[in-house]
Amino acid sequence: MDSGRKKFEHILSQNLLPRDGLAYVAKSFFPGSDADRILGQLIGLTPWRQDPIKIFGRTVLQPRFTAWMGDAGVTYRYSGLTLEPISWSQPVREVKDRIEAEYGYKFNSALLNYYRDGQDSMGWHRDNEPELGEEPAIASLSLGESRVFKMRHYFNKSLNIDLNLEHGDLLIMAGPMQAYWEHSLPKTARPKGPRVNITFRSRLSTKFLLDVRG
């Protein structure tokens, strides 16, 4: 086994997708006490915003709070919004540094989502913006309340997966996944406390994909 593949050994036991992409979970990537601390810092220190977006011609407020962090000049465009990055905060940089050290990534930006309760949500979408490249790798850390993260094949809706993401779990999505799979975080009637997730992304080379495919 080459050294590149060995880096991913503990999360490569099972690709969650049956085809057309890569999705892996590292359970409790940040253990309880560290996850608790980072969650509190993110909720209290992040300059959250709630932007209006257009859905089917209607302008509505996003059903969650967001923040866009990254290197200078790394803008992000989605749902008619153009976001200029704010500087990396200490807790987000801590998470970024650990993921990069563990898996060999180099990220230049992150979208933070703050779900206040079970009524905050994320609709079906693919992270396939041109700025992310043809096969973006995205690392998403979940903190706070567990929520069901749904994935379904964009061209064959009978292929679908429900994933319960818990406090401290890290989800890695890579390969052609964003071209073929969409994902969402739906509302739930169950009582839920706050949840924050950080989705790191960048323009990455194909070396990661060659490593994990062996």
- How does residue 9 score in pLDDT terms, banded at 50, 70 and 90? very low
Instruction: For residue 202, name the pLDDT band (cuts at 50, 70, 90).
Output: confident
Nearest-angstrom CA–CA distance, 58 and 184: 20
Q: Percentage of the chain with pLDDT > 90?
A: 68
Split into its structural domains, the chain has a count of: 1
Between β-strands 65-70 and 138-144, what pairing exists: parallel, antiparallel or unpaired? unpaired
Indicate the pLDDT class of residue 100, thresholds 50, 70 and 90: very high
What is the domain extent for residue 18?
Answer: 3-213
Q: How confident is the model at residue 157 (pLDDT cuts 50, 70, 90)?
A: very high
**CATH code of the domain containing 20:** 2.60.120.590
CA neighbor of 33 nearest in space, from 196, 114, 143: 143
**pLDDT value for 114:** 98
- 170-183 per-position pLDDT tens digit: 999 999 999 999 99
For residue 81, name the pLDDT band (cuts at 50, 70, 90).
confident
